[in-house]
Amino acid sequence: MVSKRGNWRYVTPMEISRRERKKIKTKSDILRAARHLFEEKGYDDVSIEDITERSDVSKGTFFNYFNSKEGLLKAIAEEEVDDIQELYEREGQNFKSCRDRIKLIMKRLLDDSIPYMHLTGRVVFSTIINSNEDVSPFYAINEMIDSLVQEGQMCGEFSKEYPSKYIVTAILGAYYGLIFTWFEHKKETIGWSELECILDAVFKGFNNII
């Protein structure tokens, strides 16, 4: 129930929660529709009208959440980062070694990329390579891995001979390299076994020197 106090309208916590849930669902529906359309038709061939029709919202509602079609790419990247952070908070403690926790992050990143490879390439280019902003949404993943590498250096999993940022670059480079290889060779499938093999080689190269 909504009560009124003078000229102010008091909104109960239950109503706020219900409203927020609806907003989250609407935004998620728009992003889901955009993600599928971008992969089906290609980013350049999808209009805002296509997205609003697929997600069953008005253009006005669309612009309540996103300033432009380009803004969807950043939102997709942010959603992916949120998903990985939630996964790590939920399951990271189940892995003792820093290397295994890094693999947990990288596996989810790849698993979420595989169904939308063309979109992944566009998002990477837009939010990292060609970003006009100081900080890409993917920087949060960089920070997560850097923290784990530094922890690994403290406990002997990684050599202290190299700055952590170099090791992080090699780890993320394994993922980006696999994505670009897919585009270069038009490979039908890539999988975790390939990325894990590359990561193991990276880990071995930066192994603690005894």
Is the whole-model pTM more than 0.75?
yes
Show the low-confidence residues of the chain (pLDDT under 70).
1-16, 128-135, 186-188, 208-210
pLDDT of residue 180: 85
Give me the half-sphere count of Cα atoms (radius 13 Å) on the Cβ side of residue 171. 29
pLDDT of residue 208: 62
Q: In this predicted model, what pLDDT tens digit does every residue of 35-73 receive, in sequence order? A: 999 989 989 999 999 999 999 999 999 999 999 998 898
pLDDT of residue 118: 85
pLDDT of residue 124: 81
pLDDT of residue 187: 59
What domains does the chain contain, in order, with CATH numbers?
A: 1-66 (1.10.10.60), 69-210 (1.10.357.10)
